Structure 1
Amino acid sequence: MAFMRRKAGKPADVASGLSDMLSRLEQMTGYRADTDSIGDLSFIEWCEELARGKKGDGTDGLKVDGKPFRLDNRPALRPLYEAIPKTRADAKDAMLVVMKATQLGLTVWEVLANIYMAVRWEPVSIGMFMPAQATAIHKSEHRFMRMVRSAPELYKYLVTGRDVDGKKKQVGEGNVLTRKVGESLLLFLWTTGKVTTESIPMDIVTLDEVQEMALDQIDKVRARTGDSDIQFTLMLSTANMPELDIDFWYRQGTQEVWHTECPHCQALSDLSDPAAIFPTKSIGYNTGQFPGAPMNEYVWTCPTCGGWIEDPQVGRYIVTNAAAPAKLRSFLLPRTISPKMTPRKMVEAHGRAKTGNQKKSFWNRTLARPYIDADQLPVTMVHCLAAMEAGIKRGLKWEKRGDGTSFYCAGIDQMGSFNAMIIKKRMPDGRQAVVHVEAIFNDNPFERCGELMDQFGIAVCVVEQLPNVNDARRFANKFPGRVFLAGYADLRDDQMVWGDQLSRSDMRTAEEDRSRFSVTLNQYKCMQTALFRVREGTCLFPNADELEQDVIEDGKRKRIAILRDWVFFHFTKTALVIDDGSETENGRAKKVTEARKLRMKVVKVGIDPHYSYANMLCDVAWARAHGTSTFIMPDTKPTEGEALAKQAEAIGLPQTVVRIFEELPAGERCGRCVSFDAESSMCGERDLATKASAPGCPLYIARSF
Structure 2
Amino acid sequence: MEAAELATYDEMMAVDAWYWATEIGLRLQSGPFTLAGHEYQIEPMQIDGRDRCAMKAAQMGWTEGQVIRNLHGMIYGRYPAGVLYLFPTADDVADFSKARFNPLIRDNPSIAAHVRSTDSAAIKRVGTGFLYLRGARITQTIQGVKKDSSKLRSIPVDCVVCDERDLMDDAAIEMATERMAHSYVQEYTDLSTPTIPDYGIAKRYDDSDQRVWMIRCRHCNHETCLETEFPDCLGIRADGSVFRKCSKCGKEIYPRDGRWVARQPGRDRIGHWISQLNSIYVDPGDILRAYEFPPNGNLQEVYNSKLGMPYIAAEDRLTIRDVLACCGNYPMYTRHTGPCAMGVDVGKVLHAVIGVRVSEDQYSIVRTERLSSFEDLHDLAARFNVTNAVIDALPEIHKVRDFRAAEPYEVFLCQYNEHQATGPKWNLDTGIVQANRTEVCDQTHALITTAGRCEIPRRCDEVDEYATEMCNIAKVLEEDQETGSRLYRYRKLGADHYRHATNYFLMAASRCNIAAGAGGRRFRPRQEYAENDFSL
Tell me which interval the TM-score lies in, with the shorter structure as reference length.
Answer: 0.7 to 0.9
- Corresponding residue of 2:39: 75
Following the alignment from structure 1 to structure 2, what is the Cα–Cα distance between the partners of residues 481 and 195?
A: 44
State the alpha-carbon separation in 2 of the partners of residues 355 and 376 from structure 1: 18
Change in 2 beyond 3 A, CA 1:421/1:226: same
> Aligned residue for 2:392?
464
CA distance 1:42–1:366, change in 2 (3 Å)? farther
Superposition map of 1:66-465 within 5 A: 66-83=30-47, 85=48, 94-121=50-77, 123-159=80-116, 172=117, 174-193=119-138, 194-273=149-228, 277-279=229-231, 281-287=232-238, 295-309=239-253, 311-325=254-268, 328-353=269-294, 358-377=298-317, 379-388=318-327, 391-392=328-329, 396=330, 398-403=332-337, 406-416=338-348, 418-427=349-358, 431-440=362-371, 442=372, 445-465=373-393
Give 1:508's aligned residue: none
Aligned partner of residue 498 in structure 1, secondary structure: strand
TM-superposed deviation, 1:334 = 1.1
Answering whether residue 497 of structure 2 is matched by residue 541 of structure 1, we say no
Describe the superposition over 1:106-149 as per-residue Cα deviations: whole angstroms up to 9, x where unpaired. 11111111111111116322111111111122222222111111
Aligned letter for 2:11? Answer: D
Letter in 1 for 2:264: N
Change (3 A) 1:323 1:157: closer
Structure 1 residue 40 corresponds to structure 2 residue 11: yes
Letter in 2 for 1:312: P
The amino acid of 2:265's aligned partner reads A
* CA distance, structure 1, for counterparts of residue 129 and residue 300 of structure 2: 40
Q: Secondary structure at the match of 2:325?
A: helix
Q: 1:43, 1:113 within 8 Å by CA — same for their partners in 2?
A: no
SS at structure 2 position matched to 1:330: strand
User: Residue in 1 aligned with 2:529?
Assistant: none
1:46 Cα shift? 5.1
Alignment of 1:471-620 (within 5 A): 471-479=399-407, 482-501=410-429, 516-536=430-450, 537-545=452-460, 561-563=461-463, 565-579=464-478, 581=479, 593=483, 597-605=485-493, 607-620=494-507
Name the CA distance, whole Å, in 1 between partners of 2:272 and 2:202.
11
Is the 2:105–2:111 Cα contact (8 Å) retained in structure 1?
yes
- For 2:221, the aligned partner's letter is Q
Task: Note closer, same or farther for the CA distance 1:618–1:299 as it changes in structure 2 (3 Å cut).
Answer: same
Shift of 1:97: 0.9
- Aligned residue for 1:31? none
SS at match of 1:625: coil
- Over 3 Å counting, the alpha-carbon distance change for 1:73 and 1:412 in structure 2 is same
Secondary structure class of the residue paired with 2:336: coil
Q: 1:190 to 1:397 in 2, by over 3 A?
A: same
Q: Given that residues 201 and 225 in structure 1 are in contact (C-alpha distance below 8 angstroms), is that contact kept between their aligned partners in structure 2?
A: yes
**CA–CA separation in structure 2 for the residues paired with 1:386 and 1:119:** 59
Cα deviation per residue 1:477-531 (whole Å; 9 max; x = unaligned)?
2126621111111235312111222xxxxxxxxxxxxxx3111110111111122
1:458-483 CA-partner distances (Å, limit 9, x unpaired): 11111111122222222122126621
Decide whether aligned partners of structure 1 residues 355 and 385 sit closer, same or farther in structure 2, where only a CA change above 3 A counts: farther
> What letter is aligned with 2:261?
I
Query: 2: CA distance between counterparts of 1:460 and 1:102?
Result: 50
Q: Secondary structure at the match of 1:427?
A: strand
Once the two structures are TM-superposed, the CA of residue 332 in structure 1 deviates from its matched residue by: 0.6
Deviation sequence 1:436-478 (CA, Å, 0-9, x none): 11012x3xx2111111122222111111111222222221221
Structure-2 separation of matches of 1:476 and 1:621: 14
Aligned to 1:551: none
Q: What root-mean-square deviation, in Å, do the aligned CA atoms of Structure 1 and Structure 2 show?
A: 2.7
**TM-score by structure 2 length?**
0.87
Change (3 A) 1:430 1:241: closer
Given the superposition, is the C-alpha separation of residues 315 and 572 from structure 1 closer, same or farther in structure 2, using an over 3 Å criterion?
Answer: same
Q: Single out whichever of 186-195 and 608-617 deviates more from structure 2.
A: 186-195
The one-letter code matched in structure 2 to 1:40 is: E
* 1:97–1:236 contact (8 Å) kept in structure 2: yes
Task: Tell me the distance in 2 between the aligned counterparts of 1:530 and 1:397.
Answer: 22
Which letter does structure 1 place at the counterpart of 2:476? V
Q: Which runs of 5+ in 1 are unaligned?
A: 1-37, 54-60, 86-90, 160-171, 288-294, 502-515, 546-560, 582-589, 627-631, 633-638, 646-657, 663-705
1:438 counterpart letter in structure 2: E
Q: Partners in 1 of 2:100 and 2:301 — Cα distance?
A: 24
| Runs of 4+ more than 6 Å apart | none
Partners of 2:361 and 2:35 lie apart in 1 by 67
Deviation readout 1:230-267 (Å, 9 max, x if unpaired) = 11112111111112111122122211000111111111
- 3-state secondary structure, aligned to 1:308: coil
How many equivalent pairs are there? Answer: 502
Query: Deviation of residue 429 (structure 1)?
Result: 7.5
Q: CA 1:50–1:317 in 2, change beyond 3 Å: closer, same or farther?
A: closer
Quote the Cα distance in structure 2 between the aligned partners of 1:347 and 1:428: 49
Instruction: Tell me by how many angstroms 1:48 deviates.
Output: 4.6
Higher relative contact order (CA 8 A, sep 6+): 2
Quote the sequence identity (%): 22
Tell me if the contact between 1:299 and 1:308 (Cα under 8 Å) persists in the aligned partners: yes
CA distance in 2, matches of 1:600, 1:40: 52
CA–CA distance in 1 between the matches of 2:150 and 2:244? 49
Residue matched to 1:557: none
SS at 2:226's partner residue? coil
The higher radius of gyration belongs to 1
| Matched letter for residue 339 of structure 1 | I
Q: CA deviation at 1:272?
A: 2.2
After superposition, the Cα gap between the structure-2 partners of 1:177 and 1:278, relative to the gap in structure 1 and judged at 3 Å, is: same
SS at match of 1:599: strand
User: What amino acid sits opposite 2:336 in the alignment?
Assistant: G
Task: Give how far 1:189 is off.
Answer: 1.3
- The structure-2 alpha-carbon separation of the partners of 1:601 and 1:591, relative to structure 1 and needing over 3 Å to count, comes to closer
- How far apart in 2 are the matches of 1:108 and 1:622? 54
